Amino acid sequence: MDQPIHRFSELFAQLGLSADAQAIAQFIATHAPLAADIDLPDAAFWTPAQSAFLREEQLDDADWAELVDQLNLALRQPASGT
């Protein structure tokens, strides 16, 4: 299996979010769990530009798609510490 072209932290940077490990963990803890009936790009916490980027990457199965899937899975897990 080929290695992803991008790293998870780079996806956060691409979305205009803080991309250090602590900020990523905090973002996921804050927004998880995302309800099963909400598509990742439709979550209320995205800006319109972020939402469009996530949707395009999923639909096009583009370079970022694997990491978008990884983010989707991370946000579906129950938040830690609750």
pLDDT-derived band at 2 (thresholds 50, 70, 90) equals low
Q: How far is Cα 30 from Cα 55, in angstroms, rounded to an integer?
A: 21
The predicted-structure confidence for 9-66, as pLDDT tens digits, reads as follows 999 999 999 999 999 999 999 999 999 999 999 999 999 999 999 999 988 877 899 9
Torsion of CA 6, 55, 26, 44, to 10 degrees: 170
Domains of the chain: 8-76 (1.10.10.1130)
Output the pTM of the full model.
0.86
Secondary structure of 19-73 in HEC code, one letter for each residue: CCHHHHHHHHHHHCCCCCCCCHHHCCCCCHHHHHHHHHHHHHCCCCHHHHHHHHH
Q: Which long-range contacts (CB under 8 A, 24 or more apart) does 59-62 make?
A: none
